Structure 1
Amino acid sequence: MSLYKYKLLRQALVRYERAKQSKETYYVSEVARGSRGRGFGADIGREVHKALWGLDPEVILSTEEVSLPFPLAWRFRFGWLMGVADLVTFKNAVPTGVVEVKSYNAIKKYEATQASLYGLLVMLNFAVRPRVYVKIPGNIVEVEDWESLALQALRYVA
């Protein structure tokens, strides 16, 4: 087990826990939408995000390749950006891909932006550039310009 990789994983989880406690928290889904969520679905999403994550980094460190939901957060000047990516693929404990999974067939700007923000959080937490995808039934589409989409979305928060 690489101590460096373990520390990166632990720090990512610690950041997520700190973001949960902060009053200056923005969720990936609301930033991707361009507004702070206020509806019933937003309240449920916040409760899910506040649930205790017992993710053990050993699962990632001891498996050659694994894809799993992963909690992510990063502190910006405006506050914390946080969310749980549907799937982050780790190869030898290094994140290589982010997949936002949708149950419907349309991929619009919102879905690509949401996936892009998760890509940005992975990049900041692990100092890697992952590939970013949106998966819809029967297809998976790579988001080529994910960095610019993520930065555009952050302009509306800052």
Structure 2
Amino acid sequence: MAQVTLHGDKIHTQGTLPKKGSTAPNFKLTATDLSTKTLKDYSGHNVILNIFPSVDTGTCAQSVRSFNKKAGDVENTKVLCISKDLPFAFSRFCAAEGLDHVESLSDFKDGNFGKHYEVTFTDGPMEGLLSRAVVVIDPDGKVIYTQQVPEIADEPDYESALQALK
């Protein structure tokens, strides 16, 4: 189990992120058009998983904006923004912000993404939501970078995630 903080208060996730070099766990998530997406849908691409509690918070929203700007034009790379937000909230947010270089996916149906990537909070005020983390996957489905952000109110390390692609 990973320990992170929310404004300095300790909370825990279900486990730890997949190890660098391991095969990324498959997932089944819901897109904004209510279709189902799996990791296999992105086979042959670099994939950045931008994982967070809710797009309706300032830091989470900023992470979506930042990855849209910083990684949107990176060759052969898909940025997937993942939370338990309803697909409708994602659709509204991305349309209002004009974000077109990221794809929003929801783990609202069964929570299996959070279980497989071990990012579901197990205690604290955000219990059941996903923690702030980044996982970068290469075109062969191997994990090449992870970051469990230690303080939920902080943004992820965008530059290190992007450097992993080089």
After TM superposition, the score normalised by the length of structure 2 is 0.28
Is the helix fraction higher in 1 or 2?
A: 1
Name the structure, 1 or 2, with higher relative contact order (CA <8 Å, separation 6+): 2
